[in-house]
Structure 1
Amino acid sequence: MITDELIYKTLKDRFGYDTFKPGQLAVIRSVLAGQATLAVLPTGTGKSLCYQLPVYLLGHTTVIVSPLIALMQDQVAQLNYQGEKRAVAINSSLEPRQKQLILGQLSQYRFVFMAPETISQPTVIQALQQCQIDLLVIDEAHCISQWGIDFRPDYLVLATIKRQLKPRATLALTATANAQVRHDILTKLDMQSANSVITSVDRPNIYLGVSQQVDEASKNRFLKQLVMESQGPGIIYFSSRQKTVEIATLLQETTTLKVAYYHAALSTKERFTIQQQFMQGHLDVICATNAFGMGINKADIRYVIHYHLPQNIESYLQEVGRAGRDGKPAYALLLATAQDMYLQQALISFGIPEVGLIQRFYQDPNLFKGSQGNEFELLRRYQQIGMEEQAVSELLKNRQKEKQFALQTMLDFLNLHGCRRQFIVNYFDEDPRQIEHDDQCCGEPNSTAFLEKLNLKKITNDKAPKTAGLDHWNGILKQLF
């Protein structure tokens, strides 16, 4: 039996910590006991330690299913920085020969990261079956509920893969999951008897603000003033790639801030370069779609601004949680106009095939052999994993209802007359407590005066000269954009 004494010794020797953050020890104990475990721990509270530490006590291979290439690369890089060389990410960025070599010596690795689309490949499953797998980790497990039905259906076959691999234990990790999402995760992973470790989502060091603007021009003026006066670094989130580029360009041209944009249409190299510049402190602001940020472990982000209304409260809280990981004051501000709701309403149906299309596809898939788009990719994958037409139609119909309900919840949060932190705690926490509300908790600022109350107003002169090192990165950015 692995004792707490040995767990704490490993914590100190391997990771340099004396104590655990809330929830970590309970998750590690559960995993080491061979129990299926669902862990819901707030963003910034060290979820990765929950699978990293057990590896050094169990001794064999841990497989981590991760949703994004950038996230896998970041996690492998962090392990390498800690001195761990037996970590690898298997994804589409590998050349076929590289992938074949890695699969041939998979048992030599302690940490193996891959996407659900990769782990479902027969050659990968065969290679994994030759390894002794101590732990199967589903990182960012809320994706099973949010993405699995209408986007990336390979999340739905993870339970089957789990049965094929027979890991000693399974761990589903996420920062945001209300009761329904937790039920989804446990059901779709066939973990109904799992041990659940759930801690509060509350992050009291992050001020939650909503600022209603009369129109887009007003929103842009307020945004520009805000980022010029705020301590940084910061992230601004958008629902539109076009608007991401537009606002980044506006800030580049009208302020002295070092700004870049980030979205999924950029090349892998461009995205990696921009992410590293931000992580190393060479950028003040990232204008990004939700393609940026999952797993980004930058402790000193002082603000997260939402230019557009998020589709759901889970995504909002995930993105907000990237601020203030060092425990110091930070703010999250949602800018809103009356038109924003219509954009998200349109996005709800984007990429989901209608009933008529589902029927025609299942009647004769060859008619759509050359058709491109998410709808067709989705239907092809459903057919490949053996789902019948009626089951697909019912699944997607229910998903539409769920997304509509999620948007309404986000609108309720937006238009709330009361404490927004209390709203979030009531929505997510199993045992919600009464929040002690004050002017540093949440509010509806229409000026930058709230920055002084939070001690987040920029102290240095925004027109101060740049250092040579930053000029170097600025030149790279100009070449990229």
Structure 2
Amino acid sequence: MESLTASLQRVFGFSQFRSGQEAALTSLEAGKDTLAILPTGAGKTLIYQLYGYRHPGCVLIVSPLLSLMNDQVDRLRMNGFKRAAAINSLTPFGERLSILNHLDQLQFLFLSPEMLSQPQMLNQLQRINLSLLVIDEAHCIVQWGPDFRPEYLLLGAIRDKLQRPLTLMLTATAGKQTRHEIAKQLRSTPAVVTESVNRPNIFLDVENVADEATKQSRLQDLVKRLPRPGVVYFSSKQQASDTALWLQQTAGVTAAAYHAGLDAEDRFKIQQQFMTDKLDIICATSAFGMGIDKDNVRFVIHYHLPADLESYAQEIGRAGRDGAPSVAILLYAPGDEQLPLALGQSNRPEAETIQRYYAHPQSFAADEPQIHLLAFYRDHGISQAAVERLFAGREWERNHALSQMVDYVQSPTCLREKWLQAFDEAAPAHDEACCAPSNQPLDLAAIHLLQQAVTPAPIQKVPWQERLARLF
């Protein structure tokens, strides 16, 4: 078989790998399950694409978001991999049937954990040759599994049913505990390939504001002054939508909201407009960003406090993929930690609810999120005591993670050092291009991120006949 570098040149036209890619591929070529923790923008998808090119059989990719699946299928086809498909809730019945009838001819197949866990799908997959199982955004096993998308917790058992295919786990951030949990849930002892999460070109800034009104005013000021495009993250879908409209009206920018409350078509259109620089600002919830490969994002602002440093690292990593100066700004008002606390508890049933449900499951409405979650565990034979322990442990983990996030926000010294500690990394020496903790002002000019004044081009009057001719 030709060398990895020769395959890279043949398929993608690159003469050398990015950091971490070759090490992950070498591990897979040696037949080892591999956990690759590579920073956002490091080209993680190339790893399984190149492996799929070099080996017969189907690469099965478990992906968390519908828009991410469809985007990755389109990119594969653009790169010459025509035998790629995705099955999800948006796939029309006829197309789904056609894909299932030709599974043995596919080179790449994308599924959600929910779709993969369906018995009919598993039966079909057991009949084909899987060259590689990929768990994309593997941190979702920990962040989403216990109390949001419990199907992630079935992946280990599913992997067993598929005869334990060679497995690649991909994520941009994972501390020691997250790595341990990923391996435990997938019933694997993977080789770990990791690169630093540090992005030296992203300036870190935390700003304390007095209240909500001051925070809004500061956001407006930053959006006017910073070079674009940029992303503003919110924990509230409604506030993301309201703020996008408000910024359009008051800051002279083109902005749109992106969150799970929009239908798939609207999300796709907004994503494409942002990718093609038709939007200056995306006001988003955490639903936006996974797999988005846009290299010129100049800033990421967090309007609301993230729940943990791993999520924060994922989201700020969407800035500055081109290596140019960028900035991550977190706006913090007293009491902001109450929102992630409330959101973390909203889908987590109390011990009393668990006890009442297990005693009389038929008396509860199954469409309530908490009851749907409990029904999942009960249907899979998880005892009441085990579920109570699971949620008690989950609450402790979330509270601990939020405490780390608050420590970062309140740090009077180097923010990068505080941030990297969570990933067991030593920070480089602090300098003026590193960060501005909460007690230091942000100087955009000093970090070369001040919006350049642009003189508008003179308006040229075009005769109506010529305008009409251009239209047709």
TM bracket (short chain): over 0.9
Question: CA contact under 8 A between 1:133 and 1:166: conserved in structure 2?
Answer: no
CA 1:261–1:10 in 2, change beyond 3 Å: closer, same or farther?
same
Residue 374 of structure 2 corresponds to 379
SS, match of residue 334 in structure 1: strand
Deviations 1:283-326 (A, max 9, x none): 00000111111111111111100000001111111000001111
Q: 2:388 aligns with which of 393, 402, 417?
A: 393
Q: Secondary structure at the match of 1:451?
A: coil
Which residue among 350, 365, 388 is the counterpart of 2:361?
A: 365
1:240 and 2:236 aligned: yes
Report the equivalent of 2:308: 312
Measure how far apart 1:32 and its partner are.
1.7
1:75 aligns with 2:72: yes
DSSP-derived class of the 1:428 partner: coil
Cα deviation, residue 464, structure 1 = 6.5
CA distance in 1, matches of 2:12, 2:432: 37
Secondary structure at the counterpart of residue 453 of structure 1:
coil
- The one-letter code matched in structure 1 to 2:28 is V
Report the more deviating stretch, 49-58 or 91-100: 91-100
Verify the 8 A CA contact 2:134 2:169 in the aligned structure 1.
yes
Aligned counterpart in structure 2 of residue 49 of structure 1, from 40, 46, 51: 46
Please, which moves more after superposition, 176-185 or 28-37?
28-37
TM-score by length of 1: 0.92
Match of 2:352 in 1: 356
Partner residue of 1:302? 298
Partner of 1:223: 219
Q: Does residue 128 of structure 1 match 2:130? A: no
Counterpart residue number, 2:91: 94
Q: CA RMSD in A?
A: 1.8
- For residue 198 of structure 1, the aligned residue among 189, 194, 217 is 194
Task: For residue 424 of structure 1, report the CA deviation from its aligned partner.
Answer: 2.2
Q: CA deviation at 1:207?
A: 0.6
Q: Distance in 2 between matches of 1:31 and 1:348?
A: 36
Separation in 1 of the partners of 2:277 and 2:346? Answer: 36
Quote the Cα distance in structure 2 between the aligned partners of 1:46 and 1:319: 16
Q: Which amino acid in the other structure matches residue 265 of structure 1? A: G
Q: Which consecutive unaligned segments of at least 5 residues does structure 2 have?
A: 461-472
Alpha carbons of structure 1 residues 465 and 180: separation in structure 2 relative to 1, 3 Å: farther
The one-letter code of the counterpart of 2:240 is T
Q: Is the 8 A contact 2:174 2:423 kept in 1?
A: yes
1:14-33 equivalence runs, <5 A = 14-33=11-30
Inter-partner Cα distance in structure 2 for 1:60 and 1:33: 17
1:159 aligns with 2:156: yes
Percent same amino acid among aligned pairs?
45
Gaps of 5+ in 1: 468-481
Alignment partners' CA distance in 2, 1:43 and 1:134: 25
Q: Is the 8 A contact 1:134 1:167 kept in 2?
A: no
SS of the residue corresponding to residue 450 of structure 1 reads coil
Is 1:409 aligned to 2:404, yes or no?
yes
Check the 8 A contact 2:309/2:422 in 1, yes or no.
no
Shift of 1:95: 2.2
CA drift of 1:394 comes to 0.7
Secondary structure of 2:337's counterpart equals helix
Change in Cα spacing, 1:448 to 1:90, as seen in structure 2 (3 Å) is: farther
- Counterpart contact for 1:256–1:462, Cα < 8 Å: no
Distance 1:211 1:180 in 2: 29
- CA drift of 1:281 comes to 1.0
Q: Secondary structure at the match of 1:452?
A: coil
Contact 2:205–2:330, Cα closer than 8 Å, also in 1? yes
- Mapped to 2, the partners of 1:242 and 1:465 lie a distance apart of 38
Q: 1:333 aligns with which of 329, 333, 337?
A: 329
Residue 421 of structure 1: aligned partner: 416
Aligned partner of residue 26 in structure 2, secondary structure: helix
Separation in 1, partners of 2:73, 2:458: 36
Q: Residue 187 of structure 1 corresponds to which residue in structure 2?
A: 184
8 Å CA contact 2:413, 2:437 repeated in 1: no
Count of paired positions: 460
Correspondent of 1:113 among 104, 110, 113: 110
What residue number does 2:143 align with? 146
User: Which residue of the other structure, out of 420, 440, 444, is the alignment partner of 1:451?
Assistant: 444
